[in-house]
Chains A and B, each alone.
Chain A
Amino acid sequence: MKRRRYDSANDVERTPLERLRQFPREPDMLVYGLRSLGALIIRALLRVYHRFEIIGHENLRTNRSLVIVANHCSHLDTLCLLAALPLRKLHRAFPAAASDYFFQSVPRLWIAAVVVNALPFARQVHVRQSLSLCEELLKNPGTILIIFPEGTRSTTGEIREFKSGIGALVAGRDVIVVPCFIDGSFKAWPKGWRLPRPRKVRLIVGSPRNYRARRTDKVDICTIAAELREAVNELGETNGSH
């Protein structure tokens, strides 16, 4: 007789902590529940405490895979972008988070894996591997990647140079890229502060673009990165930083 086949979870013999650290994570009812609950609380807090506002929300309305690119100066940025997504898409949305910062200490790991659903991104070594992981994810329709191409939080509020990795990810690929500008998060919760201050935060969603026709050589991916930075910058300027 043929042996029965069981479709076991692929992390059965791992400890709970290892399970949080591994990626992709196995779906878990409790984690999904906590994440949805956390998202509701975060959304309410953003609305009340930061008078959070979204401009250009309709630009995110798609069921195809999506790369969201934004400026980064605060932990609030990730939360703002997640708050712009419908709850049911939350578990398919992966903000790329520095694995050296978010995937080492246990409390940060827990928040990154459970609340934010972060994708561990190795920004110093093995950047290629992390990028190919992103590429794998984008193959499933409905995946949302949230990427801050500056590579770290800005300490001045200015947008830094975008890393070329973002260009390599989207060049020649049929995937929607949405540039976003987050306004006010630097004043609300700058790097190094323990807690956020009650300042207004706005999210400006730009019009979607596509780099399917572009070549994937070094020059082109750097150009794409520069173009995306320009797009994000422009969103900030036209919508008037306060």
Chain B
Amino acid sequence: MLPQIALHDPVFRAYFLIVLISLAVGGTVLGFLRMVLKKDTASMFRTYWSWLVIAAIGLLVVFAGRIPTIVGVTLLAIYAFKEFARASGLYRDWWMTGAVYAGIITVGISSLISQPRGEEPGAGWYGLFVVVPVFAIALIPIIPILHNRSRGELQRMSLAIVGFIYIGWMFGHLGFLANARNAYGFVSFIIFATAVSDVAAFTFGKIFGRHPLRSEISPNKTWEGALGAFGVAMILPWLLRFSFPFFGTRELILTGLIVGIGGQLGDLSISVIKRDIGTKDMAATIPGHGGILDRIDSLIYTAPLFMHMAGYYYPLR
């Protein structure tokens, strides 16, 4: 992944066009709703403007290459974890927050460097990447031990571990995916498909939504929206088959299942956390979306599941 390769890479160029077309279609639909049907679309437009910014930044970072992608994912994870920590009160303990930051940075570094003894070819130290949780989880209880404190520490340790595993490590797989031989296809597909299935869940829910999906977790999600998103996610791997031409039917179905079910699970799992904390959004960083974490929550499931599924059938390098 390098800018000069991206310029000539058919997959990246295709995604560039697909993203532009999707945004244009979305904008036209919203414009139609507003101009012709006179619907109140102010909040949807706010979300849409933010999508434009997200798409521009995302395309630019992937275009810029492997290192910017991994660094970008790491920064995103740090910021998303910070939102989680602020909402859950863990941020009041800077040592614990710092320990998780250190873990997230280790995830980023293990994605960047190569295996020192050269047993695995190419960039990215897969062995370290996979065992970072061991070290991070071992580091976290050291903080209260060094401070000689126990009051409330179980809660802080649990929050730190959950935050690290979900946001630092599982989401961090997106960065490691940039090391794959087929990086443009994998990274672009998983981001694009997850985003589209999110939008599909919202749209289907808005149009057909009747039956609440999980009333105690996220009152706005409906079965109709979830099924719509699932349907879209099952079709996408076939439509975007050029991203991974070597995938057979089995892998395409698995990819659809991962995006269709994993995306919803990621969303719901963060909703569980938000609901228990008692906040609607993790932060108000992106207008119309909430926090960074509210935007990337679906990727928490789809990125690692997709990476390990793809890595199981075809070596990433």
Which of B86, B94, B287 is A9 in contact with, Cβ under 8 Å?
Answer: B86
Bound complex: CA A7 to CA B88 (Å) = 6
Q: Does B15 have its Cβ within 8 Å of any Cβ on chain A?
A: no
Instruction: Bin the interface of chain A by size.
Output: 10 to 19
Contacts A4-B155, A4-B276, A29-B97: A9 and B91 contacting too (C-beta < 8 A)? yes
Bound complex: CA A24 to CA B276 (Å) = 26
Bound complex: CA A13 to CA B277 (Å) = 12
User: Min CB distance, B274 to chain A, in Å?
Assistant: 10
Which residues of B in the span 141-167 have a Cβ within 8 Å of any Cβ on A?
Answer: 155
Bound complex: CA A6 to CA B281 (Å) = 15
Number of A-B contacts (CB under 8 A): 46
Which of A4, A6, A7, A12 is B283 in contact with, Cβ under 8 Å?
Answer: A12
- Which residues of A lie under 8 Å from residue B285 when comparing CB positions? 15-16
User: Min CB distance, A209 to chain B, in Å?
Assistant: 36
Which of A8, A15, A18 is B86 in contact with, Cβ under 8 Å?
Answer: A8
A13 near B284: Cβ-Cβ < 8 Å = yes
- Which residues of B lie under 8 Å from residue A15 when comparing CB positions? 284-285, 287
User: Min CB distance, A198 to chain B, in Å?
Assistant: 39
B277 near A6: Cβ-Cβ < 8 Å = yes
Bound complex: CA A132 to CA B259 (Å) = 55
Q: Does A26 have its Cβ within 8 Å of any Cβ on chain B?
A: yes
A6 near B86: Cβ-Cβ < 8 Å = no
- Which residues of B lie under 8 Å from residue A29 when comparing CB positions? 94, 97-98
A13 near B91: Cβ-Cβ < 8 Å = no
Q: Does A14 have its Cβ within 8 Å of any Cβ on chain B?
A: yes
Total interface residues on B, CB under 8 Å, equals 22
Bound complex: CA A27 to CA B287 (Å) = 23
Which residues of A in the span 143-185 have a Cβ within 8 Å of any Cβ on B?
Answer: none
Name which of B91, B92, B278 has the most chain A CB atoms within 10 A of its CB.
B91
- Which residues of B lie under 8 Å from residue A16 when comparing CB positions? 284-285
Contacts A12-B279, A13-B279: A6 and B88 contacting too (C-beta < 8 A)? yes
B97 near A12: Cβ-Cβ < 8 Å = no
- Which residues of A lie under 8 Å from residue B282 when comparing CB positions? 12
- Which residues of A lie under 8 Å from residue B83 when comparing CB positions? 12
A12 near B87: Cβ-Cβ < 8 Å = yes
Bound complex: CA A26 to CA B281 (Å) = 18
A7 near B89: Cβ-Cβ < 8 Å = yes
Q: Does B46 have its Cβ within 8 Å of any Cβ on chain A?
A: no
A13 near B88: Cβ-Cβ < 8 Å = no
Which of B94, B97, B98, B278 is A6 in contact with, Cβ under 8 Å?
Answer: B278
User: Min CB distance, B91 to chain A, in Å?
Assistant: 6
CB-defined A-B contacts under 8 Å, sample of 5: A4-B276, A8-B86, A9-B87, A27-B94, A29-B98
**7 A-B pairs closest in CB distance:** A7-B89, A9-B86, A15-B284, A6-B89, A6-B277, A12-B87, A6-B88
Q: 16 additional contacts, CB 8 Å, given A6-B278, A8-B277?
A: A4-B155, A8-B87, A8-B278, A9-B86, A9-B89, A9-B92, A12-B281, A12-B282, A13-B279, A13-B284, A14-B284, A15-B287, A16-B285, A18-B284, A29-B94, A29-B97
